[in-house]
Amino acid sequence: MTGSYLIVDDDEVFADTLARRLRRRGQEAEIATDADAALAACTRRPPQRIILDLKLAETSGLQLLPELRAHLPDAEIVVLTGYSSIATAVSAIKLGAVHYLAKPASLEEILAAFATDAPLPAPAPESLPSLNRVEWEHIQRALDEHHGNIAATARALGMHRRTLQRKLGKRPVTR
């Protein structure tokens, strides 16, 4: 599968490593570390595929996704995140992403997410999620419902804004 890729991630080391690995496979890859650079890259040299980080320094990948889709309606977009939740996955797919992957994802998994005929590896069987994971999912769903507004989400959840910020600053629970 050959094509041109745009990697939108504020982690420059990760983005650079991913771009180098794509180039070694004969792919064209460009990096953008913020929303403005991503939109400029789409205008300058429209990519066929976009790898979009969910959590950018200045904005959310979910906020950038409709803008990218408006500029490039035929581009395939895969959302990649270290802060996965069911709510954000559903939102990303509704906004036009073809797939949603949790970090760390291998290059093979990312490429497979773009391949419409290649199935992704089957997920490992899961047991019931822990209480911490359920709480994380509930917070992410509420945050999505309030369009990323921390204060409104905290009020809806009945918790102090600082408590919510502290919980959001932690890595998500995997199980």
**pLDDT score for 76:** 92
CB 74, CB 26: distance < 8 Å: no
- Higher-confidence position of 84 and 4: 4
Considering the domain boundaries, does residue 122 fall inside one? no
Fill in the DSSP letter of residue 55: B
pLDDT > 90: percent of the chain? 29
Considering the domain boundaries, does residue 67 fall inside one? yes
Give 67-102 pLDDT, tens digit per residue. Answer: 999 989 989 999 998 777 788 888 888 888 888 888
Distance CA 143, CA 167 (A): 12
Overall domain count for the chain: 2
Residues 82 and 29 in one domain: yes
Residues 23 and 66 in one domain: yes
Residues 26 and 73 in one domain: yes
| Reduced DSSP (H G I as helix, E B as strand, rest coil) percent helix, strand, coil of the chain, to 5 | 45, 15, 35
- Higher-confidence position of 134 and 8: 8
Average pLDDT over residues 8-12: 89
Q: Which domain holds residue 147?
A: 131-169
Beta-carbon neighbour count of residue 141 at 10 Å?
Answer: 17
The burial class, CB within 10 Å (0-12 / 13-18 / 19+), for 108 is exposed
Considering the domain boundaries, does residue 66 fall inside one? yes
